[in-house]
Amino acid sequence: MATAKREHWGSTWGFIMAAAGSAIGLGNVWRFPYITGMNGGGAFVLVYLGCILLIGLPVMLAEFAMGRASQSDPIGAFKHFSPGSELISKCFSGVGLVLAALIAAFSHNFGLASIVALVSAAVWKWGFAVAGFFCSLVAMLILSYYAVIGGWILIYSWESFSGGLSFTGTAEAENLFVNIATNGWISTIGMLAYMLICGFVCFFGVKKGVELASKIMMPVLFVLILVLVVRSLTLPGANAGVQFFLAPDFNNLSVKGVLEALGHAFYSLSLGMGILITYGSYLPRDRNIFTSSLFVVLCDTLLAILAGLAIFPAVFAMGMSPEQGPSLLFKVLPCTFNSMPGSLGWLWNGMFFILMSLAALTSGISLLECGVSTLTQHTKLQRRPAVIILTVSISLVALLSAFGAASWKYLMPLKNVMERVLGSVKGSFLDELDYICSNWILPLDGLIIALFVGWVWGASKGAKELYTVRQGKDNYNDAKFLRKVFAQNISVTVWTYFVRFIAPLLVLLTFLFSAGIIKF
């Protein structure tokens, strides 16, 4: 049985580092600081913290609880708790079929209608296990484009030490980025290097691979960001950047900003993809999930704030303009670091891109591990062949993003298919894939997980999984222990309420907003 053979984390610290590694990624460094600056600074940070606590933490706990209780990958976890819910899944399937008919009748979008009908039919046949399959599939799909961006970051790390990033003008920065991003072959080399590292780590298993790598990479990442924060904050004129990033301005905070905070909380914690179900399934029974999750959330938020403090004071002090996404990372920051006094631009750039490489790699490792766990559990494959098969096949799919990062030149047939399903296609293949996964699929999966845990598995059963009495250590006659039990009871009640009502409602709202169905 897979359950008996399942490998476990060696320590709680290792588990926290691995889960934090998954959460801390590109979103913390290139998205959070910018949307904070644009949406009222400190006011946005306060709202973001609220979102993390209102939906991030409850859904994270739900995923960990599902994984630990079932000791399974996402498909196995959904299957494990499904008995008795056949009627509910058949109702879902019926609603899906009606929805497919409505889409076909009113929008004439037969591509989308067929997809919805197909998924509904699958739910009719396999029940909620389809949701688990969907989680693992999406994780692989996300990895296929995350690997291309991760590859660019590895190339930039190399360039910073070999003198390739020594420019101070944004025109040269633009040139270099265009040369890399529009050249499918260069992107492929970076992507393959990234996939090989992820595959190498997963090859060695949970304890000797993922856990060991995270325990080394994450502390290095924190040390690097702290050095950069100190350098950035001690520059003359740094204050303007701190003001832009953190000064609370409630006038600049709109409803749109609040929903953006909700969406980002979700993306940043790597929720809705079954990764945390997988990581939870490697947890032994005697670990307290609640405290570990709090640590993960804390690390993720702390790193996002430190990233802002490393970036904006330097950008403002050097007279550059803050931008979002790839421009900030690949164009503005190299010029900023090179303009800093002391001619050490190569060192600051090198440190920054190594830090980014570590952040991107630990997230990629978690995505690959989700697939490995699924493949080894539902086929006869052992871990090592499974890692090799997945690394090779995801790299092949990633070629689409490597060659379709800048234009559709090589992918016209795919564009036609996507236009049929999506109506219109605005960005490149990579942009579109990122948009669909982050704005549609992740919140949708998260909604399914929260509803499933809250209503199908049952929040009270889930809650039991969050705390564990440590055999021989906890004692019901001990006053300190009883106080702990009391505090746990309260937090369990709060969690139950959140996972059943508040989280699904807020996730639904975020989903409708980020998918463009409601607008503010």
Interacting residues toward ligand PFF by CB under 6 A: 22-23, 25-28, 139, 142, 267-268, 270, 273, 275, 363, 367
CA 352 to chain centroid: 20
Find the shortest distance in angstroms from Cβ 404 to ligand PFF. 20
Residue with Cβ nearer ligand PFF (141 or 387): 141
Residue with Cβ nearer ligand PFF (259 or 437): 437
The answer to whether 279 touches 68, Cβ cutoff 8 Å, is no
Tell how many helices (H) and how many strands (E) occur in the chain. Answer: 28, 0
Find the shortest distance in angstroms from Cβ 22 to ligand PFF. 6
Tokens matching residue 98: 């009606």
Dihedral (CA of 347, 340, 152, 213) sign: positive
Find the shortest distance in angstroms from Cβ 267 to ligand PFF. 6
Residue with Cβ nearer ligand PFF (116 or 310): 310
Residue with Cβ nearer ligand PFF (402 or 442): 442
- Round to whole Å and give the CA distance between 389 and 225: 35
- Round to whole Å and give the CA distance between 166 and 198: 29
The answer to whether 510 touches 262, Cβ cutoff 8 Å, is yes
Find the shortest distance in angstroms from Cβ 287 to ligand PFF. 22
Residue with Cβ nearer ligand PFF (301 or 376): 301
- Round to whole Å and give the CA distance between 152 and 182: 11
Q: Whose CA is closest to 504, among 438, 459, 437?
A: 459
Residue with Cβ nearer ligand PFF (104 or 436): 436
Residue with Cβ nearer ligand PFF (301 or 496): 301
CA 63 to chain centroid: 13
SS3 state of residue 487: helix
Find the shortest distance in angstroms from Cβ 6 to ligand PFF. 21
Within 8 A by CB and 6+ apart from 274, the residues are 63, 73, 74, 77, 132, 135, 136, 139, 370, 445
Find the shortest distance in angstroms from Cβ 92 to ligand PFF. 24
Residue with Cβ nearer ligand PFF (56 or 345): 56
| DSSP codes, 402-438 | HHTSS-STT-HHHHHHHHHHHS---S-HHHHHHHIII
Find the shortest distance in angstroms from Cβ 440 to ligand PFF. 14
Q: Which residue has the tokens 């942009």?
A: 431
Residue with Cβ nearer ligand PFF (165 or 356): 356
Find the shortest distance in angstroms from Cβ 32 to ligand PFF. 8
Q: Whose CA is closest to 63, among 22, 123, 105?
A: 22
Find the shortest distance in angstroms from Cβ 344 to ligand PFF. 28
The type of residue at 486 is F
Largest Cα–Cα separation, the chain: 71
- Round to whole Å and give the CA distance between 418 and 428: 11
Find the shortest distance in angstroms from Cβ 268 to ligand PFF. 4
Measured at the alpha carbon of residue 129, what is the angle toward residues 81 and 205, in degrees to the nearest 5?
90
Residue with Cβ nearer ligand PFF (14 or 263): 263
